Structure 1
């Protein structure tokens, strides 16, 4: 069984009508002619009934399809189509309310007419908006008044529906003004902005006219399936065949996981040892707005473009360069960035676990701390099935590294799982077995309530010394299973940030028309706690720059809740919990004036200050002043860190970006562990634990 947090939130699955599939090579239509209304097909009706029945019988989460759920489907569908409430009028919603209590019966009977009526109205409103925007550009962007004191509400999810056409067009005008001002402040001339926007909206109109019945059906069915949980999704036949919703660009791409969010392509995670990781610039949460081929290629605007089309532009031949224009996550300074990335394949050997040693303390108190960085839970299934004796896997590599570190006389071991998005359940199970003599490692509860425990297949304990597991918000799935087992067995301290919280299992079920991915089971720790939603809570926590509202299972709509079952029998080690208060106190004292930890705290405060804004200034002078204030504050945070370390101060943020560019070609594991403040502090905590002279080999064999 393989699993990973690389998924797309169905609520964000396709948020606008022009982000849907069009037939490849289809001739351009007459954009002046209104397209025909879309209608459902018999195959779609049958598929919808099949999906209802499959979810009723096989889904982990049980949902009664009744009047109450009908209202939820109705709201979910409207939210999928118009989450920011920029298209539908209040009169549209009033008209649609007749379906609010009957969508449950309609789905059971395969009646898709209500869904298509709503979608066709949405397509009409979408076209009205695009044509309005094109008219604004045609009339001249110089007519936009950037001296006027007005703002744009950017988070309208809870706002009232637009009451009339005048209010609707005022919102669209402000949205246009925001787009133009953003580009203007990124040094684009007005002529170029006008050309770019004309091309953007013309392309959106063309995609809108190419919308097919299949696209409407898929949006509607996913508005229903997402009520079960974020990972339950319907794929139309063409999507199932041609479109990998997980969007991992590991094959001659950039090594990033992408999803659609509103009009943008958003980075969800970076594949360890991939091209983007080596470039060292692209980060989770960044929004890609442009793609260029080669160092000197022209930047192509991708705002409003379908996700599969953006992926097609990013993919390419190994060794070639793709440049991405992005709105950086957490930058909040109004400045876009351009990141060049050399395409390549992600090699298994580059993703493999690596070792290092950090020395902590001096004289008699000096401790040699072994570090093992595990970027993913991998296994070369093909080589293993072929019977090759030296096939690569996480457990095999870590076993070898432990023996090498033991020859170097290490005093303790840190397992670094930061940014490890998961992988093979088999490897998580076997890796746990390296650090315990025997026993269960994880419990799986299926949709029928049946419980099965996975067990350590090898009774031999490879390493029995002091140990810490380091995690962060991007540690997910298999990482959480391993960290949870280490915490439950009291085998290791867990330090870092709260993990992702992905604790469910999905399977693919073929249909008469497309396929359904549904959640069929849930993971539990041996203590009975689930890893779902809450993730792993560290024994000692570090400041995190990841916003839990944006990253993590709990950020997803209808994520299954945290829950507990009865613990299974397991033999825990002597408790570590009694040592935590003393270790926490020493950690707090050590990091109170630590420049790197102070930096993380201030960076987090900076992001909270600006990322929580619900509106933006449309007055150019005020917006410019805001951006200057943001950049000055960000520069001050960077220079405070550099000053504390006796390093030369940056004159501006451009110098920082130039330095980041110079680090291209390095993966995270290439960087010196001694320069990693988080890793150094983790080693200090482990050294403190060792100094308390805890006899780690002695065990309390009480039942867990």
Structure 2
């Protein structure tokens, strides 16, 4: 803290020649105070640069950065015993494997919200920026959106309970504490004092009634598109599933119910082919993956688990109905993890679908048990073994490899389970493919000849694409840097017009970056449908 204030004094000048090594193991520990200060100064240059890229002037940037350091010290000094307990237990769990951890009551609530896809509150996504609680986006259907009084980038500076009374200043308050004050039982009122800076600075007082908000953006959804191949039109569907979710009651919303409804909608719309988009799906509930995988085969084993004692248990789909029996592809990337790898791997092993997209999935093949603690003290998530897809392989480290691959912005050498400390080693068991998966010849298995033809057609398109050429160029540059960021390069990219990305939410930016893969996925699916029309399977 003291050195930061000294470095950011009147003589401070941005040094664009500095480089930052991202991998802490390559940096090692500083051996002297002088070396420590030198490294901190490098970070200060990058932090100041980030402020300057938002059109902030240097004096204001220095002031903001010093405040950020002060805020960090303040948070450390005000740390609660529960926070210390949280950090200590998770430090121990992280030394076991990457996915065993303790969740505090607050973290448990967030976990349950993500599984239920619903919450009670105002319906706003919040972040912390230099001590301010900032609205990132308004969730459709929530009271914040319906009120027409709040906007993204508004800063919440005070919160009060009820329609009248005193409000509590929340500037410099930890984000989770602000969120706890804003959330509450549906039907109750909360008051927000908001600072809006554009187009002019003004202060607003807003009263909202909390409600139950559905997180539709994180739910399964379907879109239809029409393509023309060889002069003939075809209808194609894309079913996007961001995660495998579900509640504990039979009446609760589940990803299985939503995907089944999406497939039914695609059938009624006359879809000849389906792209099942798992490219941004980081996983979720194992049982949901089994049921969803079963939508596209008759019945049979979807996944097996093996515990520390070596005991293997099969999880199968017992519903003999096939919801969709036409040509199908699964779009994946290195962000596809865990349960999404189960579905992609099972459909590939059964030759039910063509896997397309990035080179392979994330490679998380471990199973976790969720154990609630007494007295609502949170939950413990413990790794209990590995899961295996029907061909006998675990997806641990290996992931699921694409049949038809094309460049993806997420195919970088630092994304994947195998790069995490203490990740479990991969394993394999005997194949457990079920002959009942296509007992009525309900669907046509994918052939090697079809995959090879699809690869050739895709490679020809990708080779002519400027978008894919740009992605390939960026991947090459990233690989050449080998975890070293040059401040001059970063600022150059900003000046070339990439500054527009700074104002976009992470989800929106990721979807935008994934658009070329979705477009090529539709092209591959159109080829596949056309090949089947021409009798490629005969």
TM-score by length of 2: 0.72
Partner of 1:176: 44
Alpha-carbon contact 2:99-2:382 (below 8 Å) kept: yes
- CA distance in 2 between counterparts of 1:315 and 1:694 reads 56
Comparing 411-420 and 488-497, the one that deviates more: 411-420
**Cα displacement string for residues 417-452 of structure 1 (whole angstroms, at most 9, x for unaligned residues):** 332333443332223223222221111222322211
Classify the secondary structure of the residue corresponding to 2:26. Answer: coil
* 1:675, distance to aligned residue in structure 2 (A): 11
Partner of 2:203: none
Structure 1 residues 681 and 695: alpha-carbon distance in aligned structure 2, compared to 1, 3 A threshold: closer
Classify the secondary structure of the residue corresponding to 1:578. Answer: helix
Q: 2:484 aligns with which of 614, 624, 633?
A: 614
- CA distance in 1 between counterparts of 2:45 and 2:265 reads 57
Partner of 2:221: 353
2:493 equivalent to 1:630: yes
Alpha-carbon contact 2:281-2:335 (below 8 Å) kept: yes
Structure 2 counterparts to residues 287-306 of structure 1, below 5 A: 295=153, 297=155
- CA distance in 2 between counterparts of 1:558 and 1:151 reads 29
Structure 2 counterparts to residues 245-284 of structure 1, below 5 A: 251=119, 252=121
2:348 equivalent to 1:487: yes
Classify the secondary structure of the residue corresponding to 1:158. Answer: helix
- CA distance in 2 between counterparts of 1:198 and 1:222 reads 30
**Cα displacement string for residues 579-635 of structure 1 (whole angstroms, at most 9, x for unaligned residues):** 32222112212322133433433343455566x452545xxxxx4xx4564246667
- CA distance in 1 between counterparts of 2:213 and 2:297 reads 36
* 1:524, distance to aligned residue in structure 2 (A): 0.9
2:306 equivalent to 1:445: yes
2:319 equivalent to 1:458: yes
**Cα displacement string for residues 98-119 of structure 1 (whole angstroms, at most 9, x for unaligned residues):** xxxxxxxxxxxxxxxxxxxxxx
Bigger strand fraction: 2
Q: 2:292 aligns with which of 426, 431, 436?
A: 431
Structure 1 residues 677 and 596: alpha-carbon distance in aligned structure 2, compared to 1, 3 A threshold: farther
Partner of 2:277: 416
Structure 2 counterparts to residues 669-684 of structure 1, below 5 A: 677-684=519-526
Partner of 2:421: 557
Classify the secondary structure of the residue corresponding to 2:464. Answer: coil
* 1:244, distance to aligned residue in structure 2 (A): 5.4
Structure 1 residues 322 and 535: alpha-carbon distance in aligned structure 2, compared to 1, 3 A threshold: farther
Partner of 1:108: none
Q: 1:394 aligns with which of 258, 266, 275?
A: 258
Alpha-carbon contact 1:294-1:322 (below 8 Å) kept: no
* 1:477, distance to aligned residue in structure 2 (A): 2.9
Structure 2 counterparts to residues 224-239 of structure 1, below 5 A: 224-234=92-102, 239=104
Structure 1 residues 321 and 608: alpha-carbon distance in aligned structure 2, compared to 1, 3 A threshold: farther
* 1:518, distance to aligned residue in structure 2 (A): 1.0
Alpha-carbon contact 1:414-1:683 (below 8 Å) kept: yes
Root-mean-square deviation (CA, aligned residues, Å) is: 5.0
- CA distance in 2 between counterparts of 1:561 and 1:135 reads 47
* 1:230, distance to aligned residue in structure 2 (A): 0.5
* 1:177, distance to aligned residue in structure 2 (A): 4.4
Structure 1 residues 319 and 581: alpha-carbon distance in aligned structure 2, compared to 1, 3 A threshold: farther
2:384 equivalent to 1:384: no
* 1:523, distance to aligned residue in structure 2 (A): 1.6
- CA distance in 1 between counterparts of 2:286 and 2:50 reads 45
Partner of 2:268: 404
Classify the secondary structure of the residue corresponding to 1:345. Answer: strand
- CA distance in 1 between counterparts of 2:408 and 2:305 reads 30
Classify the secondary structure of the residue corresponding to 1:455. Answer: strand
* 1:351, distance to aligned residue in structure 2 (A): 2.2
Aligned length, in residue pairs = 482
Structure 1 residues 255 and 467: alpha-carbon distance in aligned structure 2, compared to 1, 3 A threshold: farther
Classify the secondary structure of the residue corresponding to 2:96. Answer: coil
Structure 2 counterparts to residues 160-199 of structure 1, below 5 A: 160-184=28-52, 186-199=54-67
**Cα displacement string for residues 531-555 of structure 1 (whole angstroms, at most 9, x for unaligned residues):** 2332211111121101544544334
TM-score by length of 1: 0.57
- CA distance in 2 between counterparts of 1:380 and 1:212 reads 31
**Cα displacement string for residues 37-73 of structure 1 (whole angstroms, at most 9, x for unaligned residues):** xxxxxxxxxxxxxxxxxxxxxxxxxxxxxxxxxxxxx
Which of the pair has the greater relative contact order for Cα pairs under 8 Å at 6+ separation? 1
Structure 1 residues 678 and 132: alpha-carbon distance in aligned structure 2, compared to 1, 3 A threshold: same
Partner of 1:687: 529
* 1:486, distance to aligned residue in structure 2 (A): 0.9
Alpha-carbon contact 1:295-1:322 (below 8 Å) kept: no
2:395 equivalent to 1:531: yes
Classify the secondary structure of the residue corresponding to 1:434. Answer: helix
Alpha-carbon contact 1:358-1:683 (below 8 Å) kept: no
Alpha-carbon contact 1:294-1:323 (below 8 Å) kept: no
- CA distance in 2 between counterparts of 1:323 and 1:473 reads 39
2:447 equivalent to 1:576: yes
2:357 equivalent to 1:496: yes
Alpha-carbon contact 1:318-1:345 (below 8 Å) kept: no
Partner of 1:597: 468
Structure showing greater Rg: 1
Classify the secondary structure of the residue corresponding to 1:474. Answer: coil
Classify the secondary structure of the residue corresponding to 1:462. Answer: coil
- CA distance in 1 between counterparts of 2:99 and 2:109 reads 14
Partner of 1:45: none
Alpha-carbon contact 1:314-1:322 (below 8 Å) kept: no
Classify the secondary structure of the residue corresponding to 1:418. Answer: coil
Structure 1 residues 207 and 489: alpha-carbon distance in aligned structure 2, compared to 1, 3 A threshold: same
Q: 2:457 aligns with which of 586, 598, 608?
A: 586
**Cα displacement string for residues 220-270 of structure 1 (whole angstroms, at most 9, x for unaligned residues):** 4433322321111245xxx345665759596457787999xxx99xxxxx9
Classify the secondary structure of the residue corresponding to 1:537. Answer: coil
Structure 1 residues 630 and 428: alpha-carbon distance in aligned structure 2, compared to 1, 3 A threshold: same
Alpha-carbon contact 1:471-1:494 (below 8 Å) kept: yes
